[in-house]
Amino acid sequence: MGLNRSYLFGRSMVLCAMCITLAAGCSGGTTDPGAGEKPVLPQWTFDISMTFPGDGSLSRPEDGVALADGRLIVADQVHGLRRLEPDGTSAPFGEMVAAGYVHSPPEHSGGANGVSLEPGGSHLLVADVFHGGIYRVNVTTGAAERVYQHRYGVNTAIRDSRGAIWFTQSAHNTPDDGEARMWATVDIPRPEGALLRLGMKDGRLATEAEIVVDSLYFANGVAIDETGGLHFRVSSPA
């Protein structure tokens, strides 16, 4: 694994296996009187009663975010994003199609994947794992723009407090062979994953991303911890 140390800015970077998932449902915690009020942890199962929403309206909801008012915004293969209300009803959200997101199977399957809130919570980022687009969407209005087009699929994109966007590349899958090439890398692991950075200069994002770490096996989700420095955790199923 190669590491470009010029991006550490005197801080530490941590890479480890991690999985961030949006749970479909979870039963509440209880206490066990027979064990001296010892807490019993919540449990989640694949029972149909725990499926949320129960109408099967979601299409490939790979990732999502929770808003302060209890609503969820999740990835949706057809529209790019879908908004879920606390009562389980849902509807397409955002203008990602107008911003260039395409789902036209079987020739072109949409790859909306990682979803993350920017610092401040006014916008979110959506990554297209099949075709490499990174979209920025206003949480209130749904207005969207494609802020970067990577040469390979982008798994997850997140923004730090300085405005830079960090994102993961899982495989060398181009927009032309996006889905098939990505799954081929899952079947036969290859060190084609990477963590990349789009810096900010004069209030604008860089026009080209630069590799921070390469030769990863299917770089997946990524999280930032800016407490006491700049730390990263990148998950990999391989």
Whether 27 is in a domain gets the answer no
CA–CA dist 167, 218 (Å, integer): 13
Q: Give the pLDDT score at 48.
A: 82
Whether 100 is in a domain gets the answer yes
Whether 34 is in a domain gets the answer no
Q: What is the CATH number of the domain that holds 131?
A: 2.120.10.30
Q: Give the pLDDT score at 44.
A: 82
Beta bridge partners of 210: 197
- pTM of this structure: 0.81
Whether 38 is in a domain gets the answer no
Convert the pLDDT of each residue in 138-166 to its tens digit.
999 999 999 999 999 999 999 999 999 99
Convert the pLDDT of each residue in 5-35 to its tens digit.
333 322 233 333 233 333 334 445 555 555 5
> Is 189:195 a contact under the CB 8 Å cutoff?
no
List C-alpha distances in Å: 17 to 13, 114, 194, 234: 13, 17, 14, 6
Query: Which of 91-105, 158-172, 221-235 shows the lowest per-residue confidence on average (mean pLDDT)?
Result: 221-235
Please tell me the total count of domains within the chain: 1
Whether 40 is in a domain gets the answer no
Residue % of the chain over a pLDDT of 70: 84
Residue 168: domain span: 5-22+45-234
Whether 28 is in a domain gets the answer no
Convert the pLDDT of each residue in 93-126 to its tens digit.
999 999 999 999 988 999 999 999 999 999 999 9
For residue 218, pLDDT beyond 50: yes
Which range among 53-57, 80-84, 231-235 has the greatest average pLDDT? Answer: 80-84
